[in-house]
Amino acid sequence: MARRQAPGLAVALTAAGLIAGCGSTASHTASSREEALQRAQFVQVSNGLRSVQGAVQHEVAASRTAWPLIAGGLPQAPPAALRRAVGAASASASAKALPEPPFMASASRLTGPAAGIAGLYESYERLAEQGWRLTAASIAAIGGGAPAAASFARENSSLYIDAIYDGHFNLSLVGKDLTSGYEQLGGPQAFGAGLTQSEINALAAAYSIPAVRLEPHPGRAVEER
């Protein structure tokens, strides 16, 4: 299924999250020293992803529980909004609780495949947290706010919903990039015991489409108004 291009919040945050990674991968043949650095950073990012894997799984589970209730848009009526409030609040709390992996402290200095993977993770973390926070606030406004606030929330909610979807879409690309980056940097022979093929396979599965992407696509759910 092709990814929908989301305007506003989703595009802005995705671009911000990916800009460092995209700008760090130069199109030249790396020297042996550069390759050694890229492998060391790749191991750092892989270890960081493993350290937050449990928290990511918890956030994805909360998002998948709440997602079908808001994927098609927010409701018009307060009673329907109240039925969505608990799930959205839980997903928002899980996204806010995501720990920052250690590699994010030096994300601007990452090179090679590690830079792109870090950019994808950062965009997921930011989009999921802000998307769910704003969606939960919008549901609360519809459920019990002033009419003007409820109207504003409904008009802008598609941006927040798109941000949630796009964040998890980007997260689902991490697994593929882990596999391709590992191969690009020499695979098991180059990494040895520092990062084995089985470890990469496990990480790639944890950050794959089946493991983390949201369904259905935004706008495809049957809404209860």
Helix or strand or coil: residue 156?
helix
The H-assigned helical ranges of 52-111 are 53-70, 78-96
- Given this model, what pLDDT does residue 147 score? 83
**Average confidence (pLDDT) over 174-200:** 98
Write down the mean pLDDT value for the chain: 86
How far, in Å, CA of 43 to CA of 14, rounded? 24
More confident residue, 165 or 148: 165
Spatial CA neighbour of 154 closest among 71, 67, 72, 73: 73
Q: Tell me: pLDDT of 134 over 60.
A: yes
* pLDDT band per the 50, 70, 90 thresholds, residue 7: very low
Percent of the chain past pLDDT 70, that is, above it, reads 81
- Given this model, what pLDDT does residue 181 score? 98
C-alpha dihedral (80, 170, 124, 171), degrees to nearest 10: 100
Q: What is the pLDDT of residues 198-221, one digit of tens each?
A: 999 999 999 999 999 999 999 744
How far, in Å, CA of 63 to CA of 58, rounded? 9
Spatial CA neighbour of 66 closest among 54, 79, 81, 55: 81
More confident residue, 123 or 74: 123
Which amino acid makes up residue 25?
Answer: T
- Given this model, what pLDDT does residue 83 score? 67
Spatial CA neighbour of 30 closest among 169, 161, 185, 143: 185
Q: Both ends of the chain: CA-CA distance in Å?
A: 27
What number of helices (H) and strands (E) belong to the chain?
Answer: 9, 0
- Given this model, what pLDDT does residue 18 score? 44
Lookup result for tokens 């991490």: 174
* pLDDT band per the 50, 70, 90 thresholds, residue 75: confident
Domain boundaries, the chain: 9-21+31-212
Q: What is the pLDDT of residues 18-69, one digit of tens each?
A: 434 444 444 567 788 999 999 999 999 999 999 999 999 999 999 999 999 8
Q: Tell me: pLDDT of 85 over 90.
A: no
Percent of the chain past pLDDT 90, that is, above it, reads 65
